[in-house]
Amino acid sequence: MVCSAAVLSSSLALSLLRHSSSPSQSFVLSPLSLNSALSIVHDGAIGNTQKELTNLLLNGCTPADVTNHYSSLTLSLPSNNNTGVSFKSANRFYVDDSITLKNDYQKHVENKYKVKVQSLKLGNKADAAKEMNKFVEEATNGMIKDLIKADGIPDEAKSILINAIHFLGTWKNSFDKKKTRKGNFHGATGDKEVEFMNNNAHFNISRTEIGVTLVLPYENDAFRFFLVMPREERNLENLRNEMRKIAIASEEYVYQKCRALPSQIQFVFRPRWI
């Protein structure tokens, strides 16, 4: 049984969203990667350091709650063999060969978070970066290359923790390429003509005081895509700021609210990203 604050574990991710890149830039954040890495560090910390990490990850909970929550999340992730979805999450804990992790801690993170601990000469930056980039490239099916730069490894580094995620899913209600049309996208810097994918099918949709949330299901029911768009009288910056303030900030809240709605025929069009 995890404390009730666990359902609001999105708060850290949404705080990062608010304070990250300017609204005119596109970027991707992975709360799963961040929380996975921090929970591994959390379980190896003591005293005030662990207390601060506990408050950061699950404010109002105990260190044991943090371990149970994020360990359960990690172990419950679907395998790569699910129909309609290719999913892989891999953790790698690189430790400088000058130090040795405590045996109990190493076994703990291996069992709780499926992390592999690997000794590496971090002082040999070129070789270390090459080895870590090899892991990331393999874990992401070649989508991410040269993530680690040799000159980006600090001289004093004694450990580096990496989480890599690869996801490729098939929509339950597929978008027909033949129906792709050009239209105006209203962005933060003005209108821009882009290609839009179109579909007319059953979707769950939720309208709140700050925006519209659309749920796009994948063939594998374990995955859903939540698309949140500000209302016409609001802009993206308003949405970013207000998502942190009200109940829509909880993924669980959004999911339950949308799930409770009857499936309706909706005409959906959205920009084609790739």
What domains can be seen in the chain, in order of their start residue? 4-169 (3.30.497.10), 177-271 (2.30.39.10)
Report the candidate in 38, 44, 47 with the shortest Cα–Cα distance to residue 12. 38
- For residue 184, the one-letter residue type is N
Averaged pLDDT for residues 256-265:
55
* Residues in contact with 152: Cβ distance below 8 Å, sequence separation at least 6, in sequence order: 129
Residues 144-165: tens digit of each pLDDT: 888 899 999 999 999 999 988 8
Asked if pLDDT for residue 207 goes beyond 90, the answer is no
Residues 224-256: tens digit of each pLDDT: 888 877 777 667 777 777 765 654 445 555 556
* Residues in contact with 132: Cβ distance below 8 Å, sequence separation at least 6, in sequence order: 92, 94, 120, 147, 148, 160, 162
Cα 191 to chain centroid distance, Å, stands at 29
CA 43/CA 41 separation, integer angstroms: 6
Using a 10 angstrom Cβ sphere, with 0-12 exposed, 13-18 middle and 19 or more buried, the burial of residue 73 is: middle
